[in-house]
Structure formats: C-alpha cells, structure tokens
Chain A
C-alpha cells in the first residue's frame, strides 16, 4: 500500500493573518486549516466533506500550492513540493490540476474555448499542430462538438462550461486532479452527467481525484474514501461505505442524519445539532466540536483529540471513539 501513495500531506496548516488599524498590523489569525494529515493513493477518489468554512477548499488549494502553507509538508510521489522554486513547480504542475466550482467565473470570457484549453499546452511548449490535435481530442472526450472550437464561454450552458473546465484540466495529462465542488452550481440532471463523465475519465486516464463537496450523497457516490472536516481539521476518514455503515464521530453522525433523503417513506432519526460552527479565529479549546457535541465529557474540553486509526483504515479524532465502537457491536 505504501508505495502506492501519490500525495502525502503532513500536519498541514494555513493561518490567514487578520490585519487592521492604521498600520495594518496583524491582530489575529484565522485558522483555516489547522493540522491535516492525509495520504492519497494512486487511482482513488478521496472525497472531502464539511460545512462552509471548515477549510476543505483551502486544503485543496494548499495541496496544489495555489496557497502557501503556514506549516507542514506536501509530498507528491515522494518529492516534497512545499519548497520548490518557480521553475521546478511549473514542471510539477503538469501532474496536478484543478477543476473549479463556478463554471461561470473560471473561464476567461474574452478567450475562445480553443484558446482556453490550449493555454496550458502553450505554456509547456507544444507545437501548434500538436495543440490542435490535442484540443480536438479533449473536446471529444468531454462530449463537446468540435465545431464549437471558436465559440466563447457565454455561448455555453453551465454544464457545458464545466465540461470545458474539465477538458482544460486534462490537457497536460495530469495524474492528480483537485475538483472543488465541481457540481455544486449545476442542476440535478446536469450534475449526474458531469459525475458520470468524471468517473469515465478517471477510468480511462487512471486519474486520482480529490473531490471537495458539501453534498454528502454526491461525495458518497463518487468517492472510494471520505474525509470529514470540521473547523480546520479532519475528524473522520475511512472507506466510504464504512463511513456510512459504522459512523464513529458524533459530528459525522449528525451530518449524515441531516441529509434529506429523497424518499418520503423513510422515517429516519435525525440528530439535531445545537447552535452553529464556532469562529475559526478563536476556535474552542480541546476538541473543536465539544461546544456542540451531545456526548461531551470533561476530557474533550481540555485536550485536543489525536487523529488516530481506531479500526483498520478508519481514522477518527475523538476521545470517546472506543466507546462508540463498543456500542456499535
């Protein structure tokens, strides 16, 4: 298993400084990502879920080095990428790409889709003939007619734009793609088209996905493993069916119970969470979740739980994990 690791993240942290006052002195830090450890294996889809502001998008951007990490390391195929210089990074970037959430904002409105998809190829010095061939091939792969090559983004619908965004990400034959809420802005019927396209492409090109979303049913559908984030740190990570069948962390349980199920006959038990997510500027001491946790004990308020393997390939950050596992038996 170990040599199959494509991306490894160790103790990743990102603190955004909050500046104010006349001299914009740093007054405080917003702890967007606060210690994330993660291994991503070749060919898998790992889903990251969590509510807005939990740091899932920031994590994705840190892994691609679109943001500079405050602390921690990212390894890509065993090579540390946190300290690479510009040129080395440019070369590495061929291997990891991103698909963005908003198909309206991620395409330059003044470029034809040919130029949009071609851009990464130009940067990496492909000849014009190669570029043309590649662009046509890519459009075909994502299901957009070749005749649309010279059209502009505004002539396409949201679903089609997302296909173009995917084509652009695939242009340099990457190994790893971070998809940040790729279907959140799309309608249900279009969403299914994109999800199917993404899993087809994964099979064809042997891609590895980091799939970020807030919609659990979508994540569950596409992912092999799922990580749940809360207030800047990972609270639970396991194989996706395991996560649904043997949920351990109280936050994951509440999150799962909150998804509306499209079946009026199912009478599910809902765990209501009191209150709202605390501010990441002053996160609670001890376990981040203790302010809303129905099972809170004294230790939770004092000590931050370690993210540890409690069952085979099932990681949880909770002091009471053993107790919950016992109850499930």
Chain B
C-alpha cells in the first residue's frame, strides 16, 4: 500500500514551477507588553507537486506564518506584516480584501488542526463543501452538490450520497477531518496549507489521513505546506523541510538530508529527543525552554539553550545560508567549519 512512498521522496528539481515564494516575511503583534515578533524574517519557496513541511515547537511561529500567507492575519491595527508573499509570481501581500477572498478557497486553501471547530455545526457537511464551487465558480446548487458528493467519495467517506446530507456531529473525528479536506480541495487549489491536520486524531486514523493527503497530492499535483511538530509525520509525507525556532527558520533541506545530516544544533537536539522505536537509549534533551518572544535574545535565538554557543552567537544573529547544495542552516558553527577548512 505504501510502495509509492519512495518515489515521492525524490528531490524536486529546481525547474519546476514555483507556486509560492515567501521573502523575508515578518509578522509582529503589538501588545500592551511590547512587540511580539511571532515571525521574524522567514523566506522559502514551494514548488508544484511538492510537500514542504514546517516543523517546530508550539509558539515558534509556524502557524502564524501560514495564517499570514492566507491573509488571515494582517488586517488588524496591532498586526504588522512586512516582506513579500508571491503566489505564482504575483505579489499578494497588500492586495485588497475582495481579491484575497477570490484567492482563498479557490487557489489556496487551509486545513485546520481541529476538525470539530472548523466545520459549522448547523449546516450539513455537504452544503459546506458545496459552498466553495458555488461562490468561486458560480455553479448551481445541484451541480455544486454533485461536486460535494464526488469530493466526499474521493476522501474516502463510505456512501457519500447519504453522508452529504448529514451534520458534523454525525461524523467521527477522522471523518470530519476528511470532510474538511474535501472542502478545501473542492476547487482544486494550487496551494494547500495543512495546519497540524492529524494532531487531534488517533494513530490509525492519522495513518489513513496521511495516506489520503499523499494520494491527493499525486493526483492533483498541488503544492502542500504541512505544519507539524511531529518529526515522524515529516519523514512520512514531506519532500523538503523547514525547521522553525522562535520566529525564524533555522534550517532548510530536503527531508533525507535533514534526517541524515542535521546541521543546526536545534535540529540535532530535536532529532535526538524523540524515542526511536525499538531503542531504550536514554534521551538526549535540549535544556531549558523556548524564549519569550516579548524579549527574545539579541543574537542567535537559540544560544541560551545551545551547547555549542560562542561569544559571537550572543551578539549577532546568523543568517540562513547555503552550506551544502539545497541545504541551508542559520548557525555560526558552520561558518567556523568553513574557515577551518
């Protein structure tokens, strides 16, 4: 059932069309206690047919990054967004609300973590899916409903003709998440953002949903940004990975390189702190906890927890630079290594 996995792990050639490019994205929140730099200078590209995983612990800014890309953050007075978001080479950072709305759901869509709160309990699942083609493609109600039935079938819900008329509370957790995925795919978006889509689900259901996302990507060739804190999920579904820490990307690489040859001390620490199946070796831990983003450390944000910290790390923030082909890391250690050669 899983033979196609190896093939997906292939590196995506740089020739492929870029669906989304994010350049130096910053999302700052002005609060009473001061400015919270939730996202502080993040850049990455996502290609067609690629799954890009954003990994990090809670509060590292991975969800805020994606909410900003979707335009769900940045309209209020206390939210300051800077940098560029290019969707298929078009800058969408500052477009109007109406234009945003035209993109959302049609060209780019998002799956949230909790399937219970992302469905409206007073409408049937079918009508919530049908809403998409009716609004964006001007489909008639009956045609839209047919699409909804198709979508439910596609995401693996048994007897979709019957289920289409049911309400969210009649669905189980896994089925609701399938419904939400069906909803976000109803208009064949070029970009799909999945914000911890399996965190609220059990392992066996998680396996089903991951398999479904894998299959859908194969069929529709859309680009997927997968947000997760689970490195196991990253290894299973993604092609390339960005590791976030305290609002910045600290490492970016293809999934194989990242697991085989992690370059940033934080990534190394993360990989060592998960128990491996079949091993009882004592876990190596990262001491301390992520910084308070109200007053993050001045230099490298990881240095208070880093066992390799040097003087330079306290003063200057390292940039994300290419160290090996397609493998970037933001750490002064790598510079020291380069000079030592």
Chain A contact residues, CB within 8 Å of chain B: 51-52, 157, 159, 187-193, 195-196, 199, 214, 216-218, 220-221, 241, 244-245, 254-270, 272-273, 276
Contacts and interface: CB of A to CB of B under 8 A. Distances in A.
Given A220-B277, A244-B278, A261-B235, A267 B229 contact: no
Contacts, number: 126
B231 interface: yes
16 contacts: A159-B289, A187-B229, A188-B229, A188-B273, A190-B57, A190-B289, A192-B285, A220-B277, A244-B277, A244-B278, A259-B232, A260-B206, A260-B210, A262-B231, A262-B232, A270-B1
Interface in B48-62: 57-58
B256 A188 contact: no
Interface stretch (B2-10, B66-74, B159-167): B2-10
B273 A258 contact: no
Contacts of B289: 157, 159, 189-190
A262 B280 contact: no
Interface stretch (B35-43, B112-120, B126-134, B197-205): B197-205
B204 A255 contact: yes
A51 B282 CA distance: 26
Contact of B255 (A159, A196, A254, A264): A264
B24 interface: no
Range of interface residues on chain B?
A: 35 or more
A265 B202 contact: no
Interface of B: 1-2, 5-6, 9, 57-58, 172, 174-175, 202-208, 210-211, 229-236, 255-256, 259-260, 269-271, 273-280, 282-287, 289
A272 B283 contact: no
A265 to B, nearest CB: 7
Given A52-B202, A258-B204, A272-B207, A220 B235 contact: no
Contact of A189 (B210, B232, B269, B280): B269
Contacts of B270: 188-189
Given A187-B57, A270-B207, A214 B285 contact: no
Contact of B282 (A189, A196, A214): A196
Contacts of B276: 217, 262
Contacts of A273: 204, 208
A76 B147 CA distance: 60
A276 B172 contact: yes
